[in-house]
Amino acid sequence: MTENQLRQKVADTINAWVGATMGSAKHLDILEVYNNYRPLARGYKVQVKDAYCATTVSAAYIRAGIAKYTGTECGVEKYTLVAKAKGIWVENDAHTPKIGDACVYDWQDNGKGDCTGAGDHIGIVTKVSAGSFVVTEGNMSGGKVGTRTMAINGRYIRGFICPDFAAIAKKLGGTNTGTTGTSSAVQGTAHTVAAGDTLGKIAARYGTTVDALAAINGIRNKNLIRVGQVIYLTEAAAAVAKLAKLGVINSPDYWQRAAASGKVKYLDRLLIQAAEKITKAGIRTDAPEEGVAALVAAGVVNTPDYWLANYRTFPSLDALLCALGGAVK
């Protein structure tokens, strides 16, 4: 993945949340991504009622797979301190940012000279034009995720968080962490096709077969794959990708890793069988018990006692059961 592809990945990630309002499915997805990341900044789990602009920025970097290099925070001023410690803070209102950088605001800026006040708000730059740039922000007026157009060196700019995307892309170059569309190529579960790849080479690299990869990914012509295409290595990974594309699952990276980890017995089968039945997203059930009942009725689950006894043992498993149950109704 190139630097520009990685920058665009961050922009696409946060832009997917545009339109979120407090308590909406997109807002809950942001909180799920942030709260499930470790280490959790200052050990604080963000609540639905909390301001969430910094949380949204952090969640975008987390989902893009670069939080290790950007740091995470749920407080704006705290985030500037994290950025300064990492050497990625730009103390210059007149700086021209790039896509993927974060813009920090100070609403007390009087517009004269370089603003050095405390940060009040933050968002990610998602478009840059001559003399201006667009920022996508969480917790805008009304508690929504939306966009704002700013002039270069405009009033209220406090400074910028500017991760070294070139260096990050280089470090990620030897791993399978790129994404295409809504599906993430999480290491060990998927592979993003690069120039020179064939299905045979990919199969050999991961110890599987061409036939298996073709079946998992619905590939009819085994000699035809394209650069940037995501090849899922397991049925569970492909199932998660399908559910994410349908809008049933909002955190595909998380559930691909969870299924691959083996920490939840039968999770892979649950996801595979759910993906076979579900054709569109639905309204989540109010409780996991209702979700399990719906999954049983649809023939997805035949061991309800197991899920009812264990949904509290893994983070967000209860929410997954509610989402899947609502979709099979």
Domain boundary among 235, 256, 273: 235
Q: Is residue 21 part of a domain?
A: yes
Instruction: Note whether 191 and 206 are within 8 A (CB).
Output: yes
Q: Does residue 257 carry a pLDDT above 90?
A: no
Residue 313 CB partners (closer than 8 Å, separation 6+): 264
Residue range 286-305: mean pLDDT, rounded: 94
Q: Are residues 229 and 249 in the same domain?
A: no
Residue range 43-60: mean pLDDT, rounded: 97
Q: Are residues 161 and 13 in the same domain?
A: yes
Token readout for 274 is 């759910």
Q: Are residues 151 and 183 in the same domain?
A: no
- Per-residue pLDDT tens over the stretch 117-171: 999 999 999 999 888 999 999 999 999 999 999 999 999 999 999 999 999 988 8
Backbone Cα Rg of the chain: 21
Q: Are residues 261 and 228 in the same domain?
A: no
Q: Does residue 173 carry a pLDDT above 70?
A: no
Instruction: Note whether 151 and 163 are within 8 A (CB).
Output: no
Total domain count for the chain?
A: 3
Q: Is residue 54 part of a domain?
A: yes
What's the CA gap between 10 and 66, in Å, rounded? 9
Residue 211 CB partners (closer than 8 Å, separation 6+): none
Phi-psi region of 262 (alpha: psi -120 to 50; beta: other; left: phi over 0): left
Q: Are residues 179 and 322 in the same domain?
A: no
Strand segments, DSSP code E, in the chain are: 89-90, 102-105, 121-129, 132-140, 144-151, 157-161, 179-180, 183-184, 190-192, 230-232
Q: Does residue 300 carry a pLDDT above 60?
A: yes
Q: Are residues 322 and 266 in the same domain?
A: yes
Q: Are residues 30 and 133 in the same domain?
A: yes
Token readout for 25 is 């499915």
Q: Are residues 143 and 160 in the same domain?
A: yes
Q: What is the pLDDT of residue 224?
A: 92
Q: Are residues 249 and 214 in the same domain?
A: no
Q: What is the pLDDT of residue 181?
A: 34
- Identify which of 212, 57, 257, 42 has the alpha carbon closest to the alpha carbon of residue 137: 57
Q: What is the pLDDT of residue 67?
A: 93
Q: Give the Cα-Cα-Cα angle 219, 220, 224 (nearest 5 degrees).
A: 75
HSE-up of 77 (CA within 13 Å, CB side)? 7
CATH code of 198's domain: 3.10.350.10
Q: Is residue 315 part of a domain?
A: yes
Q: Are residues 32 and 133 in the same domain?
A: yes
Token readout for 47 is 């609540």
Domain boundary among 235, 255, 286: 235
Per-residue burial over 148-157, b = 16 or more CB atoms within 10 Å of its CB, e = otherwise: eebebebebb
Q: Is residue 240 part of a domain?
A: no
Q: Is residue 211 part of a domain?
A: yes
Q: Are residues 33 and 144 in the same domain?
A: yes
Instruction: Note whether 102 and 122 are within 8 A (CB).
Output: yes
What's the CA gap between 43 and 179, in Å, rounded? 29
Q: Does residue 180 carry a pLDDT above 70?
A: no
The model's confidence at residue 238, banded by pLDDT at 50, 70 and 90, is very high
Residue range 213-237: mean pLDDT, rounded: 92
Q: What is the pLDDT of residue 185?
A: 41
Residue range 12-36: mean pLDDT, rounded: 93
Give the domain range for residue 192.
Answer: 175-235
Q: Is residue 114 part of a domain?
A: yes
Q: Are residues 202 and 218 in the same domain?
A: yes
